Amino acid sequence: MYHNGTLLIVTAGDHVKFNLPMAFSAHVLAYGLNRWKDGYSSSNQLQNMYEMLRTPLDYFMKCWRPQSQEYYAQVGNGAADHAFWGRPEDMHMQRPAYKCTASNGGCSDVEGITVAALAAGSMAFKASDAAYSQRLLASAKSLYDFANAHKGIYNKGPISDATSYYGSTGYKDELCVAAMELYKATKDAKYLNDAKANFEGNDVAWALSWDDNHVMCELLLYEETKDNRYKGLVESFVRSYMPGGSVHQTPCGLAWRDQWGSLRYAGIFQRE
């Protein structure tokens, strides 16, 4: 939706801009486009996908200010926005913009998954818009350096308002995914080494979601290294969602991971 000429990206039934779930969604879309571009082309949906991706990617590049080392990760107060029921054009309350800086605590989780979206986006647009692709990659590289230099969980640092809505439990999985997408985009071995250092394997991932990117980390590592250690974890995750696996199945066959957002977990599993 637009307001004063600016495209607004919002979530759920309110108008808060939460970057953690937004960046996760953008990354999954970009990954899917890079992996199955022929499917989008054959269904005549490629241009729609490009337009869909530009919206969040443009926004993320505005959120990251490398000169001042600031990353804006949320716009709007969760409680105030949830209390308002109406059009964004009619919102006149204060809508704070929350940012991560070098001095107010780390935000490596939300920054990391944003890097992944930007880097995957740079590969998606490389053939159709080389200049835009380079801008995305430059933003991804500099934001990755920032996220690595100032590590921390964003809602336990500068953006505690996100805790009740899109709280995070860690950042190593997001940094792994970020490093792997940068490795795919640049073939710079330092990113692959970083990803391996942030790999937290051994246990089967609980889900693929905005707060759990472990299986995506494992999948990307396997795709590039062909190491069966990563392959085994991905396969175990897939089996856990199938009938007979550890995830409960409804009578009609829905993998029921959690009461809240049950279709979200089943849907993202089907996509991957």
Q: Which residue has the tokens 């979530």?
A: 11
pLDDT grade for 5, boundaries at 50, 70 and 90: very low
Yes or no: say if 22 and 9 are a contact pair by the CB < 8 Å rule. Answer: yes
**Do 46 and 37 contact (CB within 8 A), yes or no?**
yes
**In whole angstroms, how far apart are CA 31 and each of 72, 170, 234, 242, 268?**
23, 22, 16, 23, 12
Cβ–Cβ < 8 Å for 239, 245:
yes
Measure the CA–CA gap between 169 and 155, rounded to whole angstroms: 9
Residue 172 pLDDT: 98
pLDDT tier at 104, thresholds 50, 70, 90: very high
Q: Look at residue 9 in the predicted model and tell me its pLDDT.
A: 59
Structure tokens at 92: 């006149």
What's the pLDDT band for 7 if we cut at 50, 70, 90? low
Find the mean pLDDT for residues 6-30.
82
HSE (side-chain half, CA atoms, 13 Å) at 108: 21
- pLDDT at site 148: 97
pLDDT value for 261: 86
pLDDT given for residue 29 in this prediction = 96
Among 82-91, 154-163, 227-236, the range scoring the smallest mean pLDDT is: 82-91
The strand pairing partners of 54, in sequence order, are none
Report the range of poorest mean pLDDT among 18-27, 76-85, 123-132, 168-177. 76-85
Model confidence at 4: pLDDT above 70? no
Tokens standing for 226?
Answer: 């062909």
Q: Give, for 50, the enclosing helix (H) or strand (E).
A: helix 46-63
On whether the CB atoms of residues 134 and 122 are closer than 8 A, the answer is: yes
Q: Let me know: does 171 contact 112? Beta carbons within 8 Å.
A: yes
Cβ(115)–Cβ(136) below 8 Å: no
Each residue's pLDDT tens digit, 47-60: 999 999 999 999 99
Give the mean pLDDT of 26-37.
97
What sign does the CA torsion over 77, 3, 21, 58 have? negative
Q: What is the CA radius of gyration of the chain?
A: 18
> Bigger pLDDT: 20 or 85?
20
| pLDDT for residue 13 is more than 80 | no
Task: Sort 88 into a burial class: Cβ within 10 Å, 0-12 / 13-18 / 19+.
Answer: middle
Res. 2: pLDDT tops 90: no
* Confidence check: pLDDT of 3 > 80: no
Q: How confident is the model at residue 87 (pLDDT cuts 50, 70, 90)?
A: confident
pLDDT in tens, 63-83: 999 999 999 999 999 999 988
271 pLDDT above the threshold of 70: no
State mean pLDDT over 191-220: 95
Residue 201 has pLDDT above 90, yes or no: no
- Contact at 8 Å (CB) between 4 and 97? no
Partner residues linked to 72 by β-bridges: 99
